[in-house]
Chains A and B, each alone.
Chain A
Amino acid sequence: MTAVYEPCYEPWDETRGAEIIAEHARQEGATLVILHALQEAFGYIPEAAIPMVAQALNLSRAEVHGVFTFYHDFRHKPAGRHVLKLCRAEACQAAGGDALAARAEAKLGVSLGNTTADDRVTLEPIYCLGLCATAPSAMLDGRLVGRLDEKRLDALVAEAQR
């Protein structure tokens, strides 16, 4: 039952990109919908896709670039093989999240917001997973983990490094 997400992305391909854009372009206010779809397929938003989105939606490149850069979710380059997100908001802070974040940083040798040198793990902060009564919480490639403690965190880090 456990959803184990092994992220698997296609390499950037212009024809495939154009297909994805065309699939969603007729929706009202489609920019975010398209950017989400592109990132779901390729793992990030390739620079080359921006003018294509602009043209499809009759917007300027600057406008699409503006949307792309406004939202934290959209990636400029592929993430590591696994993405470990640690909730850094107040409820998790109250439950010992600060120390756990520092521990994860030390174990992985990167600070929050960065990817390990071997491209295996991207460690990111997230501002609230809505698991505030089972804090602190984390998400590894889409799988949620609550009541995080040192043991559980270490297991998650080890799993991400595999």
Chain B
Amino acid sequence: MKMKIFVPRDAAAVAVGADEVATAFEQIAQKRGLPIEIVRTGSRGLCWLEPMVEVATPEGRVAYGPVSTEDVASVFESMASNGPHPLRLGVADELPWLKRQTRLTFARCGVIDPRSLDDYRAHGGYKGLERALSLGSDAILAEVTASGLRGRGGAGFPTGIKWKTVAQTKADRKFIVCNADEGDSGTFADRMIMEGDPFLVIEGMTTAAITVGATKGYIYIRSEYPHAIEAMKAAIIAAERGGYLGSKIGGSTYSFDLEVRVGAGAYVCGEETSLLESLEGRRGLVRAKPPLPAHHGLFGKPTVINNVLSFAAIPFILSEGARAYADFGMGRSRGTMPIQLAGNIRQGGLFETAFGVTLGELVDDIGGGTFTGRPVRAVQVGGPLGAYFPRALFDTPFDYEAFAARDGLIGHGGIVVFDDSVDMRKQARFAMEFCAVESCGKCTPCRIGSTRGVETIEKIIRGERVSENLALVEDLCNTMKFGSLCALGGFTPYPVLSALKHFREDFVPAPTTLQAAE
């Protein structure tokens, strides 16, 4: 029987040698005269074990990792004989790190061949859309609203309300826009799902289109993600061929065309109105709201603009029902969140779980602390605009409101871990500097405030009038927070103020004990 070997094609696996490993398997199989089939999948998200390869066995898919090209020969023997190997991890589905998760959105990621529409359908793909087509607009809106799904880009706005607004707005054309400008450091869930299960994103967007009456959609992907761009483009072509995009979708009367557009390195374009400007071919200047994109969006038409993960959550909600999704979570944060553990972390990767898990569980227990082995000192949650949390706040549950109550945000679900060698003055300075570089320039608090912020923090670092300058930074942060047009200027104060508040000792020199006069 032909041995079936699965090697991820996810960018994170490729960056640590997955392509070379796949080639090595082909070569050794040829040399040994054993026929094999290599399936290039997405990543299961256990990034510290990448490249993690799997082999199909009667017991299920058995995983090995991290596999380097030097390991391939012995791993191949172990696969062929079903024998032991130091890198053999056991049946993938039974790995504790995967078993602890609740994978609703990422259920297929790392399992299926992302280029195969048939594989997607064989694993439950397009069941959600089929049900959506039978339900009709009002019933879909009711399901999405009842699921409690909130915008996974970070703002947490209820998706059902957004869609309903667009559905109720009359216009000759409407658009669906997928925000795949995942610029936050520490986040990679959008990239992973686009590379590992691209039809899921297409299905979610198509569902939105039939719900609100849109006929054209765009996926705006950042240029830093060449693999994701390629994967989405290939999936769109396959979906068109399969009758899931274009005219008469799935045999219905609906039409929907989808196009990939590529960003050009501007972080601010992850802000939805800036993204729309960019899609229209302009500088990514943030628009003042109102009017909301739901009323006056792309090319002035009503537009649903959602994050990749929001669209990716839709097929499950439609196929399994709103209740099945809303049963997970806590408070007003319903369902699951694909959390990304990153930075200086021993077991980093993608961990999808119901809201409510605590920050400490995520970092210490699931993430296993730092890979440097030094104590965890700070974690930044929610990207460059998210707050730094000290260990003292590790009891914070992963929930939109709980993080907001502690002057933080969950954002897009990225957690970046730092050990005790971190200098929080540097991190605070970096937050301001990043904002200064990436500011679109439209509003003064962000454009000027960030530059003044860098200068003032530098004065603090040099030890110039520290307490006065600290007060100045705090004041400046308040101006930026309340006076900026969008989250870039408005949230940059989060990392800065949290660094000041929780890691004060880094900013204020230790009181010098007076030396006795000689």
> A residues bordering B, Cβ < 8 Å?
1-3, 28-33, 35-36, 57, 63, 66-67, 70-74, 89-96, 126-135, 137, 142, 144-147
Q: Which residue of B lies closest to A53 (CB)?
A: B281
Is the CB–CB distance between B342 and A132 below 8 Å?
yes
Our pick among A32, A66, A126, A132 for the contact of B278 (Cβ within 8 Å) is: A32
Is the CB–CB distance between A131 and B283 below 8 Å?
no
Q: Which residue of A lies closest to B379 (CB)?
A: A94
Q: Which residue of A lies closest to B422 (CB)?
A: A94
Neighbouring B residues of A145 by C-beta, 8 Å: 15
Within 8 A of A (CB), among B180-230: 182-188, 190-191, 223-227
Between A30, A31, A96, A133, the greatest number of chain B beta carbons within 10 A of the residue's beta carbon is seen for A133
Is the CB–CB distance between A72 and B264 below 8 Å?
yes
Is the CB–CB distance between B11 and A133 below 8 Å?
no
Q: Which residue of B lies closest to A34 (CB)?
A: B281
Is the CB–CB distance between A131 and B183 below 8 Å?
no
Query: How far apart are the CA atoms of A145 and B262 in the complex, in Å?
Result: 22
Between A28, A30, A63, A135, the greatest number of chain B beta carbons within 10 A of the residue's beta carbon is seen for A135
Is the CB–CB distance between B185 and A128 below 8 Å?
yes
Neighbouring A residues of B266 by C-beta, 8 Å: 70-72
* B399 on interface, CB distance cutoff 8 Å: no
Is the CB–CB distance between B342 and A31 below 8 Å?
no
Is the CB–CB distance between A94 and B417 below 8 Å?
yes
Q: A90-B380, A95-B343 are in contact. Are A28 and B183 (CB under 8 A)?
A: no
Our pick among A28, A67, A90 for the contact of B283 (Cβ within 8 Å) is: A67
Our pick among A73, A90, A134, A142 for the contact of B50 (Cβ within 8 Å) is: A134
Q: Which residue of B lies closest to A31 (CB)?
A: B281
Our pick among B264, B299, B342 for the contact of A135 (Cβ within 8 Å) is: B342
* B23 on interface, CB distance cutoff 8 Å: yes
Q: A33-B261, A134-B50 are in contact. Are A28 and B299 (CB under 8 A)?
A: yes
Neighbouring B residues of A70 by C-beta, 8 Å: 266, 283-284, 440
* B341 on interface, CB distance cutoff 8 Å: yes
**Closest beta carbon of chain B to A55's beta carbon, Å:** 15
Q: A130-B188, A132-B416 are in contact. Are A94 and B279 (CB under 8 A)?
A: no
Q: Which 7 A-B pairs have the closest CB atoms?
A: A133-B348, A89-B185, A31-B281, A132-B342, A94-B343, A146-B15, A71-B264
Our pick among A91, A96, A130, A134 for the contact of B182 (Cβ within 8 Å) is: A130
Is the CB–CB distance between B19 and A1 below 8 Å?
yes
Is the CB–CB distance between B282 and A134 below 8 Å?
no
Neighbouring B residues of A32 by C-beta, 8 Å: 261-264, 278, 281
Our pick among B279, B342, B419 for the contact of A133 (Cβ within 8 Å) is: B342
* B28 on interface, CB distance cutoff 8 Å: no
Is the CB–CB distance between B422 and A144 below 8 Å?
no
Is the CB–CB distance between A127 and B281 below 8 Å?
no
Query: How far apart are the CA atoms of A81 and B184 in the complex, in Å?
Result: 29
Query: How far apart are the CA atoms of A89 and B437 in the complex, in Å?
Result: 13
Neighbouring A residues of B341 by C-beta, 8 Å: 133
Neighbouring A residues of B15 by C-beta, 8 Å: 129, 131, 134, 137, 144-147
Query: How far apart are the CA atoms of A49 and B224 in the complex, in Å?
Result: 24
Q: A35-B264, A137-B15 are in contact. Are A95 and B340 (CB under 8 A)?
A: no
Is the CB–CB distance between B188 and A1 below 8 Å?
no
Is the CB–CB distance between A133 and B47 below 8 Å?
yes
Query: How far apart are the CA atoms of A144 and B188 in the complex, in Å?
Result: 15
Query: How far apart are the CA atoms of A90 and B48 in the complex, in Å?
Result: 18
**Closest beta carbon of chain B to A91's beta carbon, Å:** 4
**Closest beta carbon of chain A to B181's beta carbon, Å:** 11
Neighbouring A residues of B182 by C-beta, 8 Å: 130
Is the CB–CB distance between A91 and B343 below 8 Å?
yes
Neighbouring B residues of A31 by C-beta, 8 Å: 281-282
Our pick among B11, B187, B418 for the contact of A144 (Cβ within 8 Å) is: B11
* B12 on interface, CB distance cutoff 8 Å: yes
Neighbouring B residues of A93 by C-beta, 8 Å: 343, 427, 430
Query: How far apart are the CA atoms of A89 and B380 in the complex, in Å?
Result: 12
Is the CB–CB distance between A29 and B185 below 8 Å?
no
* B72 on interface, CB distance cutoff 8 Å: no
Neighbouring B residues of A66 by C-beta, 8 Å: 282-283
Is the CB–CB distance between A91 and B185 below 8 Å?
yes
* B345 on interface, CB distance cutoff 8 Å: yes
Query: How far apart are the CA atoms of A144 and B350 in the complex, in Å?
Result: 19
Neighbouring A residues of B440 by C-beta, 8 Å: 70
**Closest beta carbon of chain B to A126's beta carbon, Å:** 6
Q: A130-B188, A132-B343, A133-B188 are in contact. Are A90 and B11 (CB under 8 A)?
A: no
